[in-house]
Amino acid sequence: MSEEKKEKNTEATEEVLEEEKKSEKEAKTSEKKKKKDKASAKIEELEKALAEEKDKRLRLAAEYENYRKRTSNEKLGIYDDATAKAVEQLLPVADSLTMAQQSMKDAPDEFKKGFELVSSQLAASLEKLKVEEFCEVGDDFDPNIHNAVAKIESEDFEENKISAVFQKGYKLGDKIIRHAMVQVANCD
């Protein structure tokens, strides 16, 4: 073979080798890119799964907190209802003590003192239970907490004022245990 042919063959061989190297590099680059894309996709998938788990955990924690608050409020409500029912049963005794004290004008001082002590003990017990008496002569009439059983026209009182209290009202916080029975002055 002539030298010129050898040189052409060599050049052709070198070109083929260079093209093979390029295609190998491209293949490796393509392979690396595919691996990188797969890794990126896997990372995205894992991040999405992590975000979902965080969301689930946060929702579960919020549900638990709501449950805890709700049951706590229910327990307090049950306690208040039970207290109100028990106090409701004791109110006739309180009324009887009040009426007995009012009718003891001519009784000996020892009897009066004894009734006063028992009444103050009952009042202290109701106070410990956070039960409050309400309704005094001169208060504004409120149909939500007062039960009007009589009305009068009087110049001594303004319009819709309580002129007489027949039975005290009792409440536990905002819960009315017993409405007050009253007489209302100058109402329509």
Sheet with 161-167: list strands edge to edge. Answer: 146-152, 180-185, 161-167
Residue 119 lies in a domain: no
The token duo for 154 is 């009087």
- Give the Cβ contact number of residue 80 at 10 Å: 17
| Strands 146-152 and 131-134, bridge-based pairing | unpaired
CATH code at position 140: 2.30.22.10
pLDDT digits (tens, 9 = 90+) for 16-57: 677 777 777 777 777 777 777 788 888 899 999 999 999 999
Residue 139 lies in a domain: yes
The whole-number pLDDT of residue 7 equals 66
Residue-averaged pLDDT of the chain: 87
* Domain count for the chain: 1
**Alpha helices (runs of H) in the chain, residue ranges in sequence order:** 3-102, 109-128
pLDDT digits (tens, 9 = 90+) for 86-99: 999 999 999 988 88
The token duo for 108 is 């000996």
Residue 81 lies in a domain: no
Domain extent for 151: 132-188
